[in-house]
Structure 1
Amino acid sequence: MLVLCLSIFIASILFILILNKELHPTEIVLYWMINAMINEEFLLIFIINLKMMHMANNLSSVFTVIIGTIYLMPMLTLSFLLYFIKFQSIISRFFLILVSLFIHSSCIYISERIGLLTNVQWEYSYTLFYWGAALLVNVMLLLGYRRLLRRAGIFNESYNTAKKLR
């Protein structure tokens, strides 16, 4: 129960920090929903279908894992996207990707250490590959959606200067 409250608290703090930054509110909602969907599908495929991980039988542990995948992990990814926008040099963005990849991929092993999950046939390289692909999808989505918002004139705060969308 303590881990559940702690994960909700951390995700709420991250949400408050992200809310007043460079991300547009529609971007926050879009990235949050897409990341929650990706993380939940990942959890369902690997725990239920492939049985590579086992959840604890405790109800609060199950809620902690589900809240972590729906609320905490998208907030970590939104924090990554926020700093990806702020950093302009390639070296700083590459370092940010490495740090974010480490943080995201270590969450499964932290869950295993505190007894929420049990890894049966899971390797660290699978987690690195999954989060590398997820972060790459998020960066491509960020760049494409920002380009669309710029063309629509939303970033310029003027709808009169918007280009016609094709």
Structure 2
Amino acid sequence: MELIQTIEQWAWIGWIVLILVFLVIEMLTLDFTFLMLGIGGLAGLGSDLLGAPLWLQVVIAAAVAGVLLLALRPPLLRRLRRGEDPTKSNVDALIELSGRVLSTVTNHGGQVKLANGDTWTARTDVGVDLEPGESVIVARIDGATAVVRPAIRPEEPLA
């Protein structure tokens, strides 16, 4: 019993350490998850200072953190990301980009030059070999290989 009383007597230090750890992790992730957990820890600290037993402190901290994660975090994330640049970047920017075949592209390999000037190893998954000079569209990126499909030519019907 003496151990439990000692833990309850010094629980406020544990809450402060937990809050600080959550806030440091939040500064590294910037995702609002650990901020909500830190605020839940603050509620646990408050209940400790008001004399609640340790089990109730934990329940209050968990409940506050859970409510904040479900109710406050999503609108905060939407507001934070509202001003983001919608322009695709990195691999996402290559999807649907056009290009020309440099060396014959088969199911196993080949090379294409994309409209942005990059030269990529490529393969096709449509089962048709693409000859040098043909226009292609990037369907997806698979590691360091562009998976391409033939570009639809205006004289071809869209059957």
TM-score (norm 2): 0.29
Return the index of the structure with the highest Cα Rg. Answer: 2
Q: Give the structure with the higher percent helix.
A: 1
TM-score (norm 1): 0.28
